[in-house]
Structure formats: C-alpha cells, structure tokens
Amino acid sequence: MPHLRSARFQVHQNLVGSLPAPSRTSLPERPAFQRALLRWYETHQRSLPWRKNGNPYRILVSEFMLQQTRVETVIPYYERFLKRFPSLRDLAKAPLQEVLKAWAGLGYYARARNLHEAAKAIVREWGGKIPRTKEELLLLPGFGPYTAGAVASLAFHQPVPALDGNAKRVLGRLFPEQCDFSRMSAKKQADEFLAGWIPPRRAADFNQALMDLGAMVCIPSSPRCTACPVFRFCATKGKIPKKKRVVRKVREEIWAVALVEKDGKFLLHRKEGRGLLSGLWQFPSVAVEKNQGKRGNSQDPGKLLEKYLREDFGLETRIKTSLPEQEHLFTHIHALMKPYLGSLAGTRPSFPNSGSLRWVGASAFSRYPISTAMCKIAALVGS
C-alpha cells in the first residue's frame, strides 16, 4: 500500500506545517530560566528591611508605601512607621490622625487611610490574621491586583504574579510579544503568561528576583545586558524600542492661605471627606482665580480669605500682611501658595466647639499630621 502510506505522510506534513513554530522560551526551557534567575538572586538580591524575616504585616505595610514611591524614599518612613505601629493590631486600634502623622511627608495620603482601613477590617473580619490568597486580599480596602498579588506571593508564597514597574520592564524586554504593556490588555495577558513560569515552592524569590533584576540590571536606559543572568532568553537583546512620550497634565492653581493669629497661636483645621489632603491639618486656604487681585478686581486674595473665614468658620478677621509665596508640586497640581498673616477682629465667638478646629502654637505644629505643602507655610512663622 505504498500509495496510501504516501498520502498519509503528505497529510501529516500538511498538519505539522500548519502548527506554530515552538517558542524559544517554550515549556522545556522554563526550568533553565528559573534556575538562572534564582541563582543570580541568591547572590545579588537587595537588602531591604521588609525582606528580613518574611513577616506578613511588615510586607503589607511596605507594599502600601511602595505604591508610586521609590524604595530609597520609603525605607526611613517604613522604619519610623513600624516603630510607632509594630503590629497590625497596634495599627488597627490607632486613631487615623496618628496614622496620618506617622505617614506625613510620604504623600499620597489615601494609601495611609486605606492601610488603616485594611488593618481594621483584618482584625474585625479575619481575627487579626492577614488573608493568604490573592482573591481574599482583593476584598480588603486599598488592595488592587498588584498589592494583593505581592502580599500573597511575598508573605505567603502563593504562586501568583506580582508585577511592579521593574518587573514589567524586565518582562516587556524579555518577552515583548506576550508582555506588551503598551496595550490596555497587557496586564491580564502578562499575568496569565507569567503564572506558568513561577516555581510553586519559590514564588516569593522568583517575583522578587524579577523586581531586583529590573532595579539593578534591566534598568530604564542603558541596561547592563552583560550582567543579565537570563540574557539568552531575551527577545530584544538590549535594543530598547522608543516609547511614546507621555506628557503628564498638571493643573496650575493659586491658593490664598491664612495664618490667623490669636494669643501667639494659629488656626489649624482638619480637612474632612475625601480628596487631596483630606484627613490632614492645614491652614485655612481658598483657591484664587488667576485674574483676581489685579487692578479693577475687588476680590483680591485677602478679601477672599476674610469672606471664607467668616462664612465657613464664623470668624471675623482682618488680613494684614502678605508673606513670601511658596510652591508645591503634587502629582497633578502645581500649587502657588500666597500666605497672609491675619488676626481676629471684633468680639464674635472664635468658633463653635469642634474637633476639627484648633489654635496651635508654632512649636506644636509638628504634633499634627500636616502635609509637606503646608509645612512650607508653617516654616514662615518660626518654631
């Protein structure tokens, strides 16, 4: 039956020809990739305080602090925070104001509020034990896919991806087809791709190795390819594609800020609700239109402050002297702050009893959670 065998052979050849070519990083090569990366990590891993004993609470705190903030900036804040709140229960039972005070200067204060809420939820709903799986962690306040994956992986060795900025850069260069982060769907696709590469018994080491490789070798510009332990798996071989430059939109704002003095103390109030600087103490301030204060416009910043203090605080004040302007750059706002010294006028009551209003001496400002922006204003009246 030579003719029949020949026909079957031809069909087989056609089927084989229609299959995709095997990937250079196909399944048999994954152990080699894992071994090379983990051997490098054992020798070159970064010494970071939250890695020292694998304590889940310490890892949780570090992951909240590391959101949008560099490692070297986080470390001193992390160490001070852990001295003040050495355990999850200590954090959960602390007043929010103490948490914000310990966080002051690190910025992005929603992280502190979410961390505090998560700690309270863990004590209330989980008996003080941090959930172990990514799915359970996602139920907590402030936990997105990355933070949940990082805590599950680094604290509990769950074999789930934890892609921070450094790890994303490494994967985007090693496997650009599977991990093209310029596309909206890339995160889910990269998670699914990476899940098959994580060694189940060394999930924490594997994820941290990718992070460290991106931080020390596969850096944003001029990557150190000769020092890369997985260079032979790299599709780009150090050729970095040009990225489309993303211009961050920053809104320009002008704030009039009142330093209202009474018997050597100044008025502070705590901003309620959500949004920028909420939960923090600050000097009364009001946004100023750019054309206010010019000739022909009676609504100058001083008058606006007097109106604001009267309507919102029940205070009759007299704004006297302007102080040197200060600037502060938030993520999306460039604030030009125009501070003014003022005093009480008339005999009306200072203000109704309220836990969100205080007269505070300059030497006591440091006892309150005040934003870095408002610290610049506080410095103008001495200590």
- Is 256 within 8 Å of 341 (Cβ atoms)? no
**63 belongs to the catalytic site:** yes
User: CA–CA separation, 97 vs 94, rounded Å?
Assistant: 8
Closest CA to 88 of 126, 137, 144: 126
CA distances to 8, 16, 190, 192, 267 from 21, rounded to whole Å, are: 22, 10, 21, 21, 71
Q: How far is CA 53 from CA 12, 59, 207, in A?
A: 56, 10, 17
In which element (H, E) is residue 270 found?
strand 265-270
Among 127, 162, 165, 168, smallest CA distance to 148 is for 162
Chain mean position to CA 87: 21
Tell me which amino acid residue 130 is. I
Measured CA to CA in angstroms, residue 330 lies from 248, 271, 327, 333 at distances of: 12, 17, 10, 5
Residue carrying structure tokens 């229609």? 18
- CA 56, 62, 68 angle in degrees (round to 5)? 145
How far apart CA 13 and CA 217 sit, in angstroms, is 44
Three-state DSSP at 257 gives strand
DSSP, res 251: E
Among 29, 42, 63, 135, which one carries the catalytic annotation? 63
d(CA 268, CA 260) in angstroms, rounded, equals 9
For the annotated catalytic residues, the residue numbers are 63
